[in-house]
């Protein structure tokens, strides 16, 4: 009886253990089946794309880089031929020379020869006035003595007045030559010279725009124009993409935003890089529902769930990550 009881006890223990194991497996299966599975959210890698253009109209003379080439900020990308800008430069240069010459003339005043000529004219007019005065005095005495008629005296007086006025005018011209241009005239001449120099600077800036440089470090993308084609001001010649500064853009439902804030980190999987995992940091969240898309949850009841744009940047540089790749995130419900 003791052996039979011991065997029965062992069988019962094994049976109980098997039963408990079966119950545990079933409970685990039910828990796995009913627990909320995380949503898989797909994001898209993006990067800033710069449109390279010129501020002047001209013919595309040469492109110095190839598509797919990495370029540095300030590197020469293209050259534009603009005959109109070169012609404007020659025209403005002549205007600047003329305006500066006028300003220099106004500042320097009259030349020494001009002053000497004005002085000679004044001295000659003064001598003529002295002669007219002596002549009038002589004729006036003769007229008083009755030797000459009064008409002669009147003519002598007229000649004296005219000679005095001519001497005064000549003296004024001489004084003007000595003083030079007026202050207002000098200021006006300098202002015209400054205006001409400003126009020259504007043309120089336009000519500088005929050489197009890379605005930032990045990869040359699609070229939109070829050498020999006419390009307008502001027309993109090519794209430069900053592939070294990428981010992931995804849309989250509003019920998935719990615990997400700028600065928080999540882990994502990159299928294009053989399923490599990487950490990403939230850098931007849509500030308001006005900037979100939405979808209806039910036709007759419930509420509309809106989707908010979220951007995440890699915590560390990821080699091989390029715009357009997908990144998968397991997002808890």
pLDDT at 161: 83
**Percentage of the chain lying above the pLDDT 70 cut:** 72
Q: Is the pLDDT of residue 54 over 80?
A: yes
* pTM recorded for the entire structure: 0.56
Residue position matching structure tokens 């005065």: 133
Helix, strand, coil abundance in the chain, percent, nearest 5: 45, 30, 25
Domain ranges for the chain: 36-47+241-331, 50-80+212-240, 89-205
In degrees, to the nearest 5, what angle opens at C-alpha 93 toward C-alphas 89 and 99? 145
315 Cβ partners below 8 Å, 6+ apart? 265, 278, 279, 280, 281
Check residues 82 and 112 and name the one with the higher pLDDT: 82
pLDDT at 201: 79
pLDDT tens digits, one per residue of 257-299:
877 888 888 899 999 999 899 999 999 988 765 444 545 444 4
Kindly report the number of other CB atoms within 10 A of residue 277's CB atom: 11
Query: For residues 65, 69, 75 and 78, what is the CA-based torsion angle, rounded to 10 degrees?
Result: 20
Residue position matching structure tokens 């006890």: 9
**What is the Cα–Cα distance from 206 to 54, expressed in whole angstroms?**
9
168 Cβ partners below 8 Å, 6+ apart? none
**Domains 36-47+241-331 and 50-80+212-240 are alike in CATH topology:** no
Give yes or no for a contact between 47 and 242, defined as CB atoms under 8 angstroms apart.
yes
pLDDT at 217: 92
Domain 36-47+241-331 has CATH 3.30.750.24: no
Give yes or no for a contact between 45 and 327, defined as CB atoms under 8 angstroms apart.
yes
Architecture category of domain 50-80+212-240 in CATH: Beta Barrel (2.40)
Identify the band that residue 105 occupies on the pLDDT scale cut at 50, 70 and 90: low
Residue position matching structure tokens 């500042």: 107
Q: Is the pLDDT of residue 168 over 50?
A: yes
Identify the band that residue 2 occupies on the pLDDT scale cut at 50, 70 and 90: low
> What average pLDDT does the segment 65-74 reach?
92
Check residues 168 and 322 and name the one with the higher pLDDT: 322
Instruction: Note the Cα 103 to chain centre separation in Å.
Output: 34
pLDDT at 230: 87
pLDDT at 298: 47
Closest CA to 207 of 88, 74, 52, 64: 88
Identify the band that residue 10 occupies on the pLDDT scale cut at 50, 70 and 90: low
| CA distance between the termini of the chain | 60
């Amino acid at each position: 009886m003791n052996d039979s009881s011991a065997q029965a006890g062992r069988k019962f223990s094994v049976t109980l253990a098997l039963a408990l194991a079966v119950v545990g497996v079933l409970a685990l299966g039910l828990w796995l089946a009913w627990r909320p599975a995380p949503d898989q959210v797909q994001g898209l890698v993006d990067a800033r794309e710069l449109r390279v253009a010129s501020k002047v109209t001209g013919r595309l003379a040469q492109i110095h880089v190839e598509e797919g080439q990495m370029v540095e900020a300030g590197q020469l990308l293209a050259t534009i031929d603009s005959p109109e800008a070169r012609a404007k430069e020659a025209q403005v240069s002549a205007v600047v020379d003329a305006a500066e010459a006028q300003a220099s003339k106004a500042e320097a005043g009259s030349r020494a020869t001009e002053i000497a000529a004005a002085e000679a004219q004044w001295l000659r007019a003064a001598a003529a006035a002295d002669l007219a005065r002596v002549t009038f005095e002589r004729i006036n005495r003769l007229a008083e003595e009755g030797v000459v008629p009064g008409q002669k005296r009147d003519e002598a007086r007229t000649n004296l007045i005219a000679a005095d006025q001519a001497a005064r005018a000549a003296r004024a011209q001489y004084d003007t030559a000595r003083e030079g241009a007026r202050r207002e005239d000098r200021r006006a001449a300098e202002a015209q010279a400054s205006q001409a120099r400003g126009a020259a600077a504007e043309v120089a800036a336009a000519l500088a725009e005929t050489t197009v440089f890379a605005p930032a470090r990045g990869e040359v993308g699609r070229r939109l124009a070829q050498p020999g084609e006419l390009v307008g001001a502001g027309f993109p010649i090519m794209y430069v993409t900053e592939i070294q500064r990428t981010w992931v853009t995804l849309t989250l439902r509003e019920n998935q935003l719990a615990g997400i804030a700028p600065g928080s980190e999540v882990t994502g999987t990159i299928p294009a890089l053989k399923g490599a995992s990487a950490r990403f940091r939230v850098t931007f969240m849509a500030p308001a529902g006005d900037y979100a898309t939405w979808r209806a949850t039910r036709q007759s009841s419930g509420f509309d769930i809106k989707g908010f744009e979220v951007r995440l940047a890699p915590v560390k540089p990821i080699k091989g990550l390029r715009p357009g790749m997908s990144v998968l995130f397991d997002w808890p419900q």
